[in-house]
Amino acid sequence: MSNDRVDRGAHGVLHTAAVTAGESLLPVEGVEEVDHSRRHLLTAATVGIGAVGVAFAAVPFIASWEPSARAKALGAPVSVDASKLEDGQMLKVAYRGQPVFVIRRSKSVVAALGNHDDLLADPKSEDSVQPDYIKASGADRSRTPDYWVGYAVCTHLGCSPLGAFEPNNPYQVQGTDLGQNWPGGFYCPCHGSKYDISGRVFKSMPAPKNLPIPSYTFSGDARIVIGEDELPKSS
């Protein structure tokens, strides 16, 4: 049973939109006169539709995962295909009116999660908003070590943290020194709160708690369904 208490609002199933170009116009035998105004109108329409197609093609694939307005209104879980993510990459989706991070973590970063507990305020996530199965996963705070899913909402004042996933690179956020032996994680630019890559907050930060985690399921093909505790049963 989920302990997810973070709200609230509409959410939905992500989908991909497609745009097709207009069909070409073919000449018709036996027609002696040409309606030039009609030809100009059709030509302009064809060019316009083609331009729309180019604009859609220029949008990164992550943008195509935005949930539809109807799906948000229905309140359905959000389905995410995370298979295209590479190590150290992240995407952000909307669920219940809140942004959610989906991150692919490298094996070396996951292996080092237990090495900086002394820097954290709540390393075992005893006082965190999360499902029971997430707490049981220990330092991973995930259903599978490679992927981490969590609300992109700082527990201080609700700002959205930035990803700073490179270990031992304290200057990867412009104008900020993340400190020596940075393990990789998140930085909130509003008031300086820092979290590791499992969303666990550092000591002496304005943020009082770890980043919350919603309920979600995960299948072997990197399909994540946010808002469900169990995979739907096949009929």
Most confident option among 4-18, 65-79, 192-206: 192-206
| Structure tokens that stand for 61 in this block | 């694939």
In a domain, 200, yes or no: yes
In the predicted model, is pLDDT for residue 57 greater than 90? Answer: no
Identify the weakest region by mean pLDDT among 11-25, 97-111, 147-161, 192-206: 11-25
For residues 53-71, average pLDDT: 42
Angle at 232 between CA 227 and CA 235, to 5 degrees: 160
Number of domains in the chain: 1
In a domain, 31, yes or no: no
| 33-43 tens-digit pLDDT | 444 444 443 44
Report residue 121's pLDDT band, with 50, 70 and 90 as the boundaries: very high
pTM exceeds 0.85: no
Percent of the chain with pLDDT over 70: 66
Give the per-residue pLDDT at 221. 81
In the predicted model, is pLDDT for residue 75 greater than 70? Answer: no
Identify the weakest region by mean pLDDT among 3-12, 176-185, 204-213: 3-12
In the predicted model, is pLDDT for residue 13 greater than 70? Answer: no
CATH number of the domain within which 186 lies: 2.102.10.10
Q: Contact at 8 Å (CB) between 146 and 104?
A: yes
In a domain, 167, yes or no: yes
Give the per-residue pLDDT at 231. 62
In the predicted model, is pLDDT for residue 3 greater than 70? Answer: no
Domain that holds residue 210: 79-226
In a domain, 158, yes or no: yes
Give the per-residue pLDDT at 137. 96
In a domain, 191, yes or no: yes
In a domain, 102, yes or no: yes
Q: Contact at 8 Å (CB) between 197 and 178?
A: no
In a domain, 93, yes or no: yes
Distance between alpha carbon 43 and the CA centroid of its chain, in Å? 40
In a domain, 196, yes or no: yes
| 140-184 tens-digit pLDDT | 999 999 999 999 999 999 999 999 999 999 999 999 999 988 999
